[in-house]
Structures are given as C-alpha cells and as structure tokens.
Amino acid sequence: MSDTPRGRNGEIFLEAKHLTRRFGAFTAVNDVSFSVPRGKVFGFLGPNGSGKSTTIRMLTGLLEPTSGTATGFGGLDVAKDTEKWKLRLGYMSQKFSLYLDMSVEENLRFFGSIYGLEPARLSERIAALSKRLGFEPLLPLLTEGLSTGQRQRVALAAALLHEPELLFLDEPTGGVDPKGRRMFWDLIYELAADRGMTVLVTTHYMDEAEQCDSLAFILNGVLIAEGTPRALKKDLEGRIFEVVTQGDPFAALSGVRGDDALEDAYLFGVRLRVVAKPGREADARRLVDPLGAAHVAEPSLEDVFVSLARRRAAPQEAVAS
Amino acid sequence: MKRLLALTWKEFLQLKRDPITLRMIVLVPIMQTIIFGYAINYDVKHLRTVVFDEAKSVESRDLVSKMTVTEYFRVVGHVSSFEELRHALDSGQASVGLVIDADFGKDIHRGQPASAFLIVDASDTTTSSQAMSIASGIANGLSIQVLSRRAGWKWQELPIDLRVRPWYNPDLKTSSFIIPGLIAVILTFTLIQFTATAIVRERERGTLEQLQVTPATRVEIILGKILPFTVIGYIQLTMTILMMRFLFGIVIQGSVLELYIVGLLFIAAVLGLGMLISTVATTQMQAMQMSTFVLLPFVFLSGYVFPIDGMPWIFQLLSRVIPARYFIEVLRGVILRGAGLGELWKPVAWLSLYTFLIIALAVARFKKTTA
C-alpha cells in the first residue's frame, strides 16, 4: 500500500449497496453491490444495454436509484450530499460532451469556473494538462474541428481540471486510435498510482479491461462476477483447448458442439476453441486431438464473460455441474 | 454566484458564435413591426364597387356620389345588367355591388320608398360589415334629408344627438391598437423558440449531462439560460418601443419604468414556458414544432387581434392561461391610456401568478426528467 497526498491507497473509497433502478416495468439495474478501493482502477464490463451506464449515472448523482445507496469520499452519501459529491468527482462519457461552438480553451475555462477554480489556478491547470495530453496547439481552435481522439483528450482534461478524487469514464476510448488510447491510459494509471485517484471505467475493449485492478461483469442489470482479472480467469484455467483445424473449421465446430464434456465451443478466426466442463478436461482433450495440433489456451476475459453468461442462461445446468 | 456568472458568460459566448440567431434577435422585431404595423388595417377604404344604375336620375347619381365621397367606396365600373354585376362579384373584380331601382328618383318625389340594393361580398366579414354599416348610414342620412325637406325641419336639429368621442385613439388608427400588443407577440415568438431549443440542444449534444455532473444546481443551470434571454427580451422590447414611437408616432402615455417592470414579468413567463417545452421535447425539431403549436393559439386567444369579449365562454376561459393576454392589457393601458399599475393591478396580479406557476412547473419538470 502506498501513501498518497489524499490518504491511503487500498481502503474502500466508493461503495454501492443494493443499487436498483427501474424504468417503468423494466429493471435496468437489479440489486448491484460492490466496493472500489482508493487509488484503484475498477472496470465495468458488459454488453450494450446491460446496465453499465445506468449504474455509473446513479453513482455520479445524475440518476436517482429506485432503491439502494452509494457512499464514498470517506462518509458522503450521493443522495444526501449531492453537491459536495459532484464537486469531488470527474466524469467523462462516450459522447465527449464539449461545446462544439467554443474553443478548446473556452471549454476548459468554462468547466473550470463551474468547479470554482480561481483564474490563476485554472490557467495553471489548463497549461499543465494540455501539455501532458499533447493538445497545446489546439487550445485556440473551435472544438468542432477536432478529431475524435483530440476531443477525447480535451474531454479528459476537462474532467481532470479540478483534480477529482474519483473519476468516472463511460466508454472513454470508443473510436480512438491505439496511440491515443495508450496516452489516455498512461495518464489514468499515473494519476491512480501517484495521486490516489480512484477510477471507475466501463469498456468493451478486453485489453483495457485486462489492465484494470479489479473487474465487475454485469449482464441484464445483474452483477454476475467480480474480482481481479487473474482471479476471474482462474476458474477457466486448464479448461480451454485450442486447435488449428486441418479441414473446414465450420465442419469441425459442428462435429464437437453439443458434446457432453463441453461447456462451450466456438471459432476464433480459423482456430477452434472448446471449453471443458469442470473435471472433464481429459474427455475434451480426446475430442479435439484428432482435429489438429491441440494445446491448452490461456483464458481471455472474453472467454470468462462468455462462460459466465452461458451459465447464467442455463442456471439448472450450472447447478448440476 | 460564480457558477451562474460562468454559465451566463458561456451562453453569450455561444450566441456570439451564432450569427443567424443574432440576426434573428434584431430582424424579427423590425420585420414584424413593419409588417403588422403597415399591413394590418381594419379601416376598410376604397372598396371596389360596381354600380348598376337603372334609374340614371339626379337622385341616383347623388346616392353614388354620396357614397364615393366617404372614400369607403370606389366605383370601378358601371354595368347595365344584373348578370354583369353578378359576374363582377363572382370574379372578385368588385366586392360591392350597388343596384339602384329604375324608379328611384320618381319614388322619392312620389313619397314612396325608393329602393336600392347593396350587395356585399360577405366572405370577408370585417370588410362586408363595415361596408354595410357605412352604406346604411349614408341611406339614413339621405332619408332624413328627404324627410326634413318634406316636413320643413332644419337639417341640423335631429331629435337625438349622439356624438361619438374616440378617446385614446382619436384618429381610429389600427396601428395604435396593433403595435402595443405586437410587443407581446414578438417577445413570445422569439423567446419561446430560443429557450425551447436551447436546452434541448444541450441535451442532444450531451452537454447537459456534462453540466449536471458538475456541482452546478438545477436552479443555476436554468437561471444561466434565462438571464441571457432576459437581456435579449429587453433589447427586443426597447427596439419595438422605439419603432413604435418614431415610425408610427405612438407616444407612451404612462410610465416607461412600469412598462419595463411588467415586461420583466412577462419575459420570465415566456421563458418559463419555453423551458417547459424543452423538458417535454427530446429533439430540437420537436421543440420547434411544439413552440409553433402553442404560438398560434397564443396570438389569437390573447386578444391581440380578436377581442376576447367576442369569444365563446370556453375560449374566454382558455385565454386566461395565455400570459400575452395580461401583458397586452397592460401594454395598451400604459401606452395608449396612460394608466398606472394601480389601475392595472388585475392583469398584473394574474401575470405575476402565472409567471410564478409556470417557472415552478418548469423547474419541477426539469427535476423529474433529469433525476
């Protein structure tokens, strides 16, 4: 555990308890509970419409939960201390919410003043962030003319101006080139490690999820698994076999699919991947060996998610196994 | 306070970057004042008239000249059959047809009722009712002349002497009636649309959400929108008052300060209404359509053109929820009659109540849609 200017990294900084949100008859988020330690990057994974954004919106104070609570910042409650809560968080959404008819600097000045930054301090922050994120030459330009990647960096700067202790990132890197994503994540990790900033991010890039300190999978509004990427993968370790098929991969797939020893089988490019049921690894191996050179594959987070989702879809089966 | 300042500064900055809206702010009052001030005219003059004079007598010619001298009728042709007269009206060449009976002159001398027909195109009710009343006035005058001559009365001394004094608008100019009310119409038109689209635009672009995660409160966000538009409303109010004074020569009889105070109430009411629309609409297109939807009844039920007293009771009741109704009452009172707020306390009180309710409703709705 390292000490940061704001406190000790690792203690619980944000805690969601039984968060539920209904829209009419539809339950978007159903009894979600989790906690995020200070200075950690916490990833939220799930398909579109699974309730990720709704959860984040409740945690930022944008949306009132139907029931449940969110506490954080060492004793604040989002429902009771909304203004203080908002003052200490940063938020950046997938839509890059900047004013297109204002210049980069005007946007930053505007958001900075909303957070109550003094003009001198604001200028300092703008200079530092624009340098760190490499958009100094863009400051006088209208935001309208910026590329997606440039806008994303400006939006991140806007969210960081007031040095928030908690940063929410809702699909922050959609449509951004790999180099931009790299620069983005470098800064996020630096701020988390050095300044003790806690980060909550939703993403569907598995490489980004892989780097999170902790992950939560959400499906149909329900939290189905939570843990470090390593711990989540542990369950699947040794159960995935990959084979580069000799013949037609589709024929190979339909040959093994439905076998009693397998939990799942799918194509990964030209490679066939099968997931053995727990305890049936040897049977699975025998099944794929004749198809080509088979080997045990490292489970990816995608495998973990697919496996979890399938077990969810067939709960009796999961219980039986 | 600082946040409110930042929000207002941002709004003006964006306005500066939007030349079309800037031009609209200035052009709408100018265009509307000129169009409404000059084009709307109830004083129907020079009605195109065809005459079918079967009598061709001194008396019949006298009737025609009595009518044309009023300037309300202008003879555009003489016809020699009823068919031709019908054709002239059917085709729209004339809106009035005068048929004078063949025995018109003789009947007068014989002491029998001399008959003439006035046929009016009543598809335009305003024009036709004026033509009818003016023509019957002329006929009455002529009848009295004939009767008095027969009885040896003196023309000047009529048994009943009703004198009409048109106070507050002695020249009976339509523009005096139209332009003060126009101030309310211009403010309604521009401000409802500006506010309705302003918030929806932020919602569409996602910037509203970004604003809402900041510590800025809902009241600050709403005030940050309302303040700049209040300034715009005052600019338009001043422009229209200046044009009214120097283009149409209408002088404000009452207190300008009082006019501006009530003006603020009205501007706030209209902005609140725009806000309300923006909490219901989800796209700028919808916001535009909804504001257009409310604008027409607003103009027509406000008493701006059509008197409220002439409406069926249900519409009179409906006109009570239209803020322009109260402001127009105040405008006409202060500008034309020189009335003070003491005399106008009723519409002012209604308008205050309305403004308060609409803003409370807008804030409540804004809360609901975003919470």
Put simply, whether A97 touches B (Cβ < 8 Å) is: yes
Of residues B206, B217, B370, nearest to A95 (C-beta):
B206
**Does 3.40.1710.10 match the CATH number of domain B47-151?**
yes
In terms of Cα–Cα distance, which of B269, B324, B274, B331 is closest to B301?
A: B324
A111–B214: do the CB atoms touch at under 8 Å? yes
pLDDT, one tens digit per residue, over B99-122 is 988 888 888 788 788 888 888 888
Retrieve residue B109's tokens: 């001398």
Give pLDDT, residue B369: 58
Confidence class for position A312, pLDDT limits 50, 70, 90: confident
Beta bridge partners of A275: A240, A264
On whether the CB atoms of residues B44 and B130 are closer than 8 A, the answer is yes
Q: How far apart are CA B82 and CA B169, in angstroms?
A: 41
On whether the CB atoms of residues B323 and B354 are closer than 8 A, the answer is yes
Give pLDDT, residue B12: 92
B-chain residue closest to A100, CA distance: B205
Q: Length of chain A in residues, anyone?
A: 321
Give pLDDT, residue B371: 45
Q: Indicate if the pLDDT at residue A66 is higher than 90.
A: yes
> Exposure string (b/e) for A224-259, b if CB count within 10 Å is 16 or more?
bbbeebeebbeebeebbbbbebeeebeebbebbeeb
Instruction: Identify all chain B residues contacting A86, using CB atoms and an 8 Å cutoff.
Output: 213-215
Q: Indicate if the pLDDT at residue A103 is higher than 70.
A: yes
Q: Indicate if the pLDDT at residue B250 is higher than 50.
A: yes
For all residues of chain B together, what is the average pLDDT?
85
B14–A60: do the CB atoms touch at under 8 Å? no
How many Å lie between the alpha carbon of B363 and the closest alpha carbon of chain A? Answer: 16
Of residues A64, A86, A99, nearest to B14 (C-beta):
A99
Domains of chain A with bracketed CATH:
3-228 (3.40.50.300), 233-320 (3.30.70)
pLDDT, one tens digit per residue, over B43-73 is 677 888 999 988 888 888 888 888 888 888 8
Give pLDDT, residue B233: 93
How many Å lie between the alpha carbon of B211 and the closest alpha carbon of chain A? Answer: 8
* Claim: this prediction has a pTM higher than 0.80: no
Domain with CATH 3.40.1710.10 in chain B: 47-151
ipTM of the complex: 0.80
Put simply, whether A63 touches B (Cβ < 8 Å) is: yes
B-chain residue closest to A168, CA distance: B213
Put simply, whether A251 touches B (Cβ < 8 Å) is: no
pLDDT, one tens digit per residue, over A166-213 is 999 988 877 778 887 888 888 889 888 888 899 999 887 888 888 899
Q: Indicate if the pLDDT at residue A296 is higher than 60.
A: yes
Inter-chain Cβ pairs, chain A and chain B, closer than 8 A: 70
Confidence class for position A314, pLDDT limits 50, 70, 90: low
Give pLDDT, residue A114: 94
Instruction: Identify all chain A residues contacting B211, using CB atoms and an 8 Å cutoff.
Output: 114
Of residues A93, A100, A115, nearest to B215 (C-beta):
A115
SS3 A217: strand
pLDDT, one tens digit per residue, over B295-347 is 888 888 888 878 888 888 888 888 888 889 999 999 999 998 888 888 889 99
Could you say which DSSP state residue A280 is in?
Answer: -
pLDDT, one tens digit per residue, over B182-235 is 899 899 988 888 888 888 888 888 888 889 889 888 888 888 888 999 999 999
Give pLDDT, residue A155: 92
In percent, the amount of chain B with pLDDT more than 90 equals: 20
Give pLDDT, residue B42: 67
Q: Indicate if the pLDDT at residue A319 is higher than 50.
A: no
pLDDT, one tens digit per residue, over A213-228 is 999 999 889 998 899 9
In percent, the amount of chain A with pLDDT more than 90 equals: 39
Q: Indicate if the pLDDT at residue A317 is higher than 50.
A: no
A-chain residue closest to B3, CA distance: A114
Confidence class for position A91, pLDDT limits 50, 70, 90: very high
Give pLDDT, residue B370: 55
Instruction: Identify all chain A residues contacting B198, using CB atoms and an 8 Å cutoff.
Output: none
pLDDT, one tens digit per residue, over B265-290 is 999 999 999 988 888 888 888 888 88
In terms of Cα–Cα distance, which of A206, A236, A235, A232 is closest to A296?
A: A236
SS3 A248: coil
B212–A62: do the CB atoms touch at under 8 Å? yes
Give pLDDT, residue A321: 35
Give pLDDT, residue B280: 86
Q: How far apart are CA B275 and CA B271, in angstroms?
A: 6
Put simply, whether A140 touches B (Cβ < 8 Å) is: no
Q: Length of chain B in residues, anyone?
A: 371
Of residues B3, B17, B213, nearest to A61 (C-beta):
B213
Give pLDDT, residue A16: 93
For all residues of chain A together, what is the average pLDDT?
86
Put simply, whether A93 touches B (Cβ < 8 Å) is: yes
Query: Among B76-80, B234-238, B350-354, whose mean pLDDT is lowest?
Result: B76-80
Q: Indicate if the pLDDT at residue A124 is higher than 90.
A: yes
Give pLDDT, residue A1: 45
Instruction: Identify all chain B residues contacting A93, using CB atoms and an 8 Å cutoff.
Output: 206, 209-210
According to the 3-state scheme, what is the secondary structure of B65-77? HHHHHCCCEEEEE
In terms of Cα–Cα distance, which of B232, B191, B247, B234 is closest to B33?
A: B247
A93–B210: do the CB atoms touch at under 8 Å? yes
Q: Indicate if the pLDDT at residue A4 is higher than 60.
A: no
Q: What is the DSSP string of A148-167?
A: HHHHHHHHHHHHHTT--SEE
Q: Indicate if the pLDDT at residue B154 is higher than 70.
A: no
In percent, the amount of chain A with pLDDT more than 70 equals: 94
Identify which of A108-122, A146-160, A274-288, B46-60 has the greatest average pLDDT.
A108-122
Give pLDDT, residue A320: 38
Instruction: Identify all chain A residues contacting B9, using CB atoms and an 8 Å cutoff.
Output: 110, 113
Identify which of A283-297, B18-32, B229-243 has the greatest average pLDDT.
B229-243
* Alpha helix (H) residue ranges in chain A: 52-60, 82-87, 104-114, 119-132, 148-160, 178-195, 206-210, 229-234, 249-256, 281-288, 301-313, 315-320
Put simply, whether A116 touches B (Cβ < 8 Å) is: yes
Instruction: Identify all chain B residues contacting A106, using CB atoms and an 8 Å cutoff.
Output: 10, 13
B5–A64: do the CB atoms touch at under 8 Å? no
Give pLDDT, residue A166: 94
Instruction: Identify all chain A residues contacting B16, using CB atoms and an 8 Å cutoff.
Output: none
Instruction: Identify all chain B residues contacting A168, using CB atoms and an 8 Å cutoff.
Output: 213
Neighbours of B239 (CB within 10 A): 18
